[in-house]
């Protein structure tokens, strides 16, 4: 008996994304299609301006495609509007960016629990879940510190804790080690892949780092808004 085919957690079909009009029009994505399954680690690789960050923003529902379709668990995301869209994005995805986007003079705990505050979670539950996320990233002792007092590696771990605080199914990481030295960057990589391997969190990385991309299950090479090659591990 043939096993049923797994439905992808994210599916994109013929996605286009353009900015501007007329002679100022720029086509960032030109007909991208892909499937990503639960528990995969996927690297989107390309040079600056290739469309990789635009693709991440569209897949993460931070921006809508000009045309084409993006499905999340088989649901056309174009049907998600307003609060439903915000809630879906806030509870399904976690985000790790090259820029830390931490509020410098606010405590680490308050930075980590910001997604919960946006979601309307009560203060006591926010503190509990935030403390658990910080403990997971070995930052429990920094909870009351100001974010500005952290080292670069600690700041990125705090960002990962913030990404985890809503118990996401998918983590999007855009150049997550770009601002870190090689040793600290290696630690951050290990944390992300541990979350993928041990906890089954789907990991979607945007990077120009070939070594980082090589750790993923698949590499998708994008150039001028289209995929030019895909690679799986040998």
Report the alpha-carbon distance of residue 72 to residue 12 in Å, rounded: 9
Q: Which domains does the chain have, with CATH numbers?
A: 40-61+81-229 (3.40.50.300)
Kindly state the average pLDDT of the residues 22-43. Answer: 94
Q: What is the token pair recorded at 35?
A: 């499937």
DSSP string, 66-118: SEEEEEETTEEGGG--HHHHHHHHHHHEEEEESS----TTSBHHHHHTHHHHH
DSSP string, 25-72: -EEEEEEEEEEE-TT-EEEEE--TTSSHHHHHHHHTTSS--SEEEEEE
8 Å CB contact between 116 and 126? yes
Instruction: Report residue 4's pLDDT band, with 50, 70 and 90 as the boundaries.
Output: very low
The string of pLDDT tens digits covering residues 45-98 is 998 889 999 999 999 999 999 999 999 999 999 999 998 999 899 889 999 987
Taking each helix axis from N to C terminus, what angle separates 123-136 and 152-164, rounded to the nearest 10 degrees?
130
Q: Please name which of 161, 92, 156 lies closest in space to residue 130, comparing C-alpha atoms.
A: 161
Asked if pLDDT for residue 178 goes beyond 90, the answer is no
Report the alpha-carbon distance of residue 158 to residue 138 in Å, rounded: 9
């Amino acid at each position: 008996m043939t096993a049923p085919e797994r439905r992808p957690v994210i599916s994109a079909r013929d996605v286009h994304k353009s900015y501007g009009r007329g002679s100022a029009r720029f086509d960032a994505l030109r007909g991208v299609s892909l499937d990503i399954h639960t528990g995969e680690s996927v690297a989107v690789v390309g040079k600056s301006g290739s469309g990789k960050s635009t693709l991440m923003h569209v897949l993460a529902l931070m921006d809508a495609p000009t045309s084409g379709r993006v499905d999340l668990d088989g649901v056309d995301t174009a049907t998600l509007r307003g609060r439903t869209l915000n809630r879906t994005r806030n509870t399904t995805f976690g985000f790790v960016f090259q820029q830390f986007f931490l509020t410098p003079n606010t405590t680490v705990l308050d930075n980590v629990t910001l997604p919960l505050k946006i979601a309307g979670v009560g203060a006591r539950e926010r503190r509990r879940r935030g403390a658990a996320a910080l403990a997971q990233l070995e930052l429990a002792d920094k909870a009351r510190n100001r974010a500005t007092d952290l080292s670069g590696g600690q700041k990125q771990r705090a960002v990962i804790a913030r990404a985890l605080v809503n118990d996401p199914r998918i983590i999007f990481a855009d150049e997550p080690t770009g601002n870190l030295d090689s040793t600290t960057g290696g630690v951050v990589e290990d944390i992300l892949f541990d979350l993928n391997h041990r906890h089954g969190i789907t990991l979607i990385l945007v990077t120009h780092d070939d070594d980082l991309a090589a750790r993923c299950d698949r590499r998708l090479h994008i150039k001028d808004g289209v995929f030019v090659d895909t690679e799986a591990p040998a």
